[in-house]
Structure 1
């Protein structure tokens, strides 16, 4: 008979070999437990961890943080997002775990939280914003349920203003990469350009998700399901490698990529090809831009990339299209075709 262990957190992870393994933690964000579930070593470690876990004092922010991690809102987060949140929640707990809930209604509490963000910004503005975002989300969840009197982190703005606005892959970049990069990295490039999907989702893509005409996947970050028609160039790249099982993208040893391994190999290949200033992640925005350049509508782009209409509109309006010379040239050609040129020949 299996004993029910309260709070036990199970995490599945796919190894580079393709094997899926299970890891257990005493609770979400807690210590990892050794051995197999039910083994004496496992049980001893579990009870030792639980005994050291001090129950949060009533009326403190820690109770709210714990409640959020036990909520359906937490369960709906993508696995990668939960992992990122756990890391930041640990930082928030150390700083504000004992913060009184009653003090959240004091106007001075906002200044206190902002000072914490400003201090973290000295090391990284982006991480400072992310920490603020997580804290604001937890407080928003709690405020909506009447668990806290106010959310002092609401509408805090951002400190980090960086963007990939001008960083898109040109056709010259694409050709240089295909000419210089190892052959096993060609397919990731073509897949990204013809699907507009994120690196993680493409590395996880398996052959059963491709039926010869479409690629079907569920985006890990948002849970959005997309069905992408496969264009002729992408089909030509896929078919020679097509199998019934296994991952589509493999490293030089024929094994599924790890995220770190792929990033390292991609960076080296870009250096060898003389490609500077653009990353694999920029291929997603490049795909959106190229679809727009051939006059795809925003709803058409959304069905392929999985963005929301608002996100696509933001990309096209603020990030890429205003800087693309081809769009300007296309606009002038259309204007020329639609404008009657008067005959200035004198009699």
Structure 2
């Protein structure tokens, strides 16, 4: 969507390379118009328009946008009085602001259909919020275009514009969500099968985050949390480190999921059932009974195993993230690596890194891929994706490989060991 020097004049691309022009005031401008006692519909009606779409010719659209800006500014300043009453302007306002559901092939219609489908409603709440944000941005640009007519060239141009902002991760996420829209268009037979223009477009690669927590860092965080009177932070760290789960699942583990031998619950994102044999793991088996006892005292009726000491309720994600950062800062006084070392290329330790650390520890313990998948509830592809980034990071993999190679050579080719040139 192109914007010009004329305020609120925007252009949305057509499939044939032309553009549609709109007068699109932002929320602050709309609020200012409303505060003055008027509506966008009255501004449009005063200019003889029934909707925000302007002339196709740019010069004509520019003149219309300037006229609309002058009327809006006059309404706000009190120097222009509307010639039409608010009631007379309501019909065009209704036409303009009505949802874009006139045709089922419009991108806005496909998005609405997707958001009401099981493919969207089954998602976790946090995923829905993220998707909804991207879908709104997509609809703002392509909502009134036919999903049938959007091709690879238009998608490539949109992606290039997103990359120009410098936020590669965000641009890639937007295109992945757009791809979901086109996949849904295929599913409801708006587009033909295998015509998704986002497929195989070659998204710009980004350097994956690789951060392995050391045992010292884990111990330092837990000790700092206990000293601060917030042992639930330490409980969450231990739970994440041994269950390989994301923050959202860790904070919502139900206390009924814990027995003296296992921690059993269902992942919110994949619905996979996770069953961790905690009885054999002293660090977590020593921690969880105390966590359960504290939870029952702080919030007897709450379902969560991990309860915030200050609110006496389950942790919200944002609150936990904020307090965790404070505890990490305290722990860093004795363990500086927690805050990272920019010169050494070491990022700060984040709670989300515990998931990858946990999976890597299982691999270092010589668990098979299937065993790690069974333990974590993640797919083989997901576990492999984690491990391929951490194999080079941990010297333990190379050490174990060396031990195995030495054993093999001792058995199969002893002459290869200690031979002289």
TM-score w.r.t. length of structure 2? 0.64
1:290 aligns with 2:366: no
Q: Which runs of 5+ in 2 are unaligned?
A: 1-93, 333-337, 340-347
**Which of the residues 282, 298, 322 maps onto 1:264?**
322
**Which of the residues 229, 244, 262 maps onto 1:214?**
262
Corresponding pairs, count? 291
Counterpart in 1 of 2:216? 172
Over residues 14-36 of structure 1, what are the superposed CA-to-partner deviations in whole Å (9 max), with x where a residue is unaligned? Answer: xxxxxxxxxxxxxxxxxxxxxxx
1:75 to partner: Cα distance: 2.7
Report the CA distance shift for 1:174/1:52 in structure 2 as closer, same or farther (over 3 A): same
Distance (Å, rounded) in 2 between the aligned partners of 1:256 and 1:201: 12
Report the CA distance shift for 1:335/1:162 in structure 2 as closer, same or farther (over 3 A): closer
Counterpart in 2 of 1:113? 155
**Which of the residues 231, 240, 247 maps onto 2:290?**
240
1:141 aligns with 2:163: no
1:86 to partner: Cα distance: 1.3
Report the CA distance shift for 1:123/1:337 in structure 2 as closer, same or farther (over 3 A): closer
TM-score w.r.t. length of structure 1? 0.76
Distance (Å, rounded) in 2 between the aligned partners of 1:205 and 1:192: 11
Counterpart in 2 of 1:127? 170
- Aligned residues of 1:205 and 1:248 also touching (Cα < 8 A): yes
Report the CA distance shift for 1:233/1:143 in structure 2 as closer, same or farther (over 3 A): same
Which secondary structure does the structure 2 equivalent of 1:216 belong to? strand
- Aligned residues of 1:228 and 1:303 also touching (Cα < 8 A): no
1:308 to partner: Cα distance: 0.3
- Aligned residues of 1:79 and 1:220 also touching (Cα < 8 A): no
Counterpart in 1 of 2:374? 303
**Which of the residues 240, 244, 250 maps onto 1:196?**
244
Over residues 81-109 of structure 1, what are the superposed CA-to-partner deviations in whole Å (9 max), with x where a residue is unaligned? Answer: 222211111111110001123423xxxx3
- Aligned residues of 1:192 and 1:283 also touching (Cα < 8 A): yes
Counterpart in 2 of 1:38? none
Cα RMSD, aligned residues only: 2.5
Distance (Å, rounded) in 2 between the aligned partners of 1:125 and 1:141: 25
Counterpart in 1 of 2:331? 273
Using the TM superposition, name which of 177-186 and 85-94 deviates more: 177-186
